[in-house]
Amino acid sequence: MNLNQARITATRAALTAGDLLRRELHAPKRAQSVLQHDIKLELDVRCQKQIARALKRAFPEVALLGEEGVAGRADAARRWVVDPIDGTVNFTYGIPHACVSIALQQRAAGRADYRDGYDTLVGVVYDPFCRELWTAIRGQPARLNGKIIQASRRRQLREAIVSIGFAKSRSSLVATLPYFVKLAHRVRKIRMMGSAALGLTYVACGRFDAYIEREIQTWDIAAGGLVLQCAGGEFWHEALTDSHQYRVIANNGLLRRSLRVPR
């Protein structure tokens, strides 16, 4: 499989979906489901179907795992991992901080990056509101709008900007809030932006120095995690009981010992 062609295909799909998000940002939204700390839109489903069609045309043999469902065999040799709108709550409220995230994964022969046996080969994250496109191919430099990027070199936590994500579950909120308070006194600033994929890519290009979340799904982190690794950062993730759920400490590779993820 030609990974550069896979990157091009994923990029085109992300750009097309991103154009739709940009047009729909301030339009009335139709919710498919609403929870206390999460929203699913009809547009999530529409975007994933649009992305899936584009990917399938180019690579019909590759399965797809996404926030809005699964297509193809669960044990496929390769799969796309798609989050059509990462940052749905932001998007629903008209906040222009959300993105399209697409990764290509391959079943590993030995130890894998992800618990269900897959490694990420290609990552594409597109922010349609800032028109910023992050891309990565495993083993090659990460890029932002075509230019090579690197994670920051800050070594001191007191100089760092750290982004924290709050998962939708009550248990995660209860566990994360005390750590948030402690960490706030140790870092330059804490940010809560509402998009895991953008949190990871912001670490990759040096805007943030770390990103932490206690419960996050594979489709939120697969593309951004590879971008970070290819930018010289560290993408630590630990599997939880759900097969697609992880704890994450993403950092510039120099701050890992100073950080922890709430349990």
Both 137 and 201 in one domain: the answer is: no
Say which residue the tokens 């959300």 belong to: 98
> What is the per-residue pLDDT for 113?
85
196-214 mean pLDDT: 97
The H or E element that residue 103 is part of is: strand 99-107
Indicate if the pLDDT at residue 36 is higher than 60: no
196 and 76 belong to one structural domain: no
C-alpha of 207 from chain center:
16
Percent of the chain with pLDDT over 70: 96
The residue segments making up the domain with residue 90 are 1-146
Domain count, the chain: 2
- Kindly indicate the confidence band of residue 14, based on its pLDDT and cuts at 50, 70 and 90: very high
Residue 263 lies inside a defined structural domain of this protein = no
Amino acid 146: pLDDT = 98
> Tens of pLDDT along 85-108?
999 999 999 999 999 999 999 999
What pLDDT, on a 0 to 100 scale, did the predictor assign at position 159?
A: 97
Q: In what order do the strands lie in the sheet with 147-148?
A: 69-71, 63-66, 78-86, 99-107, 118-127, 132-137, 143-144, 147-148
pLDDT band at 39 (very low <50, low <70, confident <90, very high): low
CATH of the domain at 167: 3.40.190.80
- pLDDT value at position 65? 95
143 in the Ramachandran plot: left (φ > 0), alpha (ψ -120 to 50) or beta?
beta
**Between 185 and 175, whose confidence is greater?**
185
| Torsion angles phi and psi, residue 71, rounded to 5 | -130, 135
pLDDT of residue 38: 58
Rounded Cα distance between 145 and 77, Å, is: 30
Does residue 92 belong to any structural domain of this protein? yes
Vertex 102, ends 40 and 248: CA angle to 5°?
75
- Confidence at 34, pLDDT banded by 50, 70, 90: low
Q: pTM, whole model, 2 decimals?
A: 0.93
CATH number of the domain that residue 45 is part of? 3.30.540.10
Residues 86 and 179 both lie in one domain: no
Residues 72 and 168 in one domain: no
Q: Does 29 fall in a domain?
A: yes
Q: Residue 125 and residue 34: Cα distance in Å, rounded?
A: 25
> Do 205 and 247 fall within a single domain?
yes
- 87 and 160, same domain (yes or no): no
DSSP letter, residue 258:
G
pLDDT (tens digit per residue) in 123-172: 999 999 999 999 999 999 999 999 999 999 999 999 999 999 887 777 77
Q: How large a percentage of the chain has pLDDT more than 90?
A: 71
pLDDT of residue 261: 77
Q: How far apart are the first and last CA of the chain?
A: 39
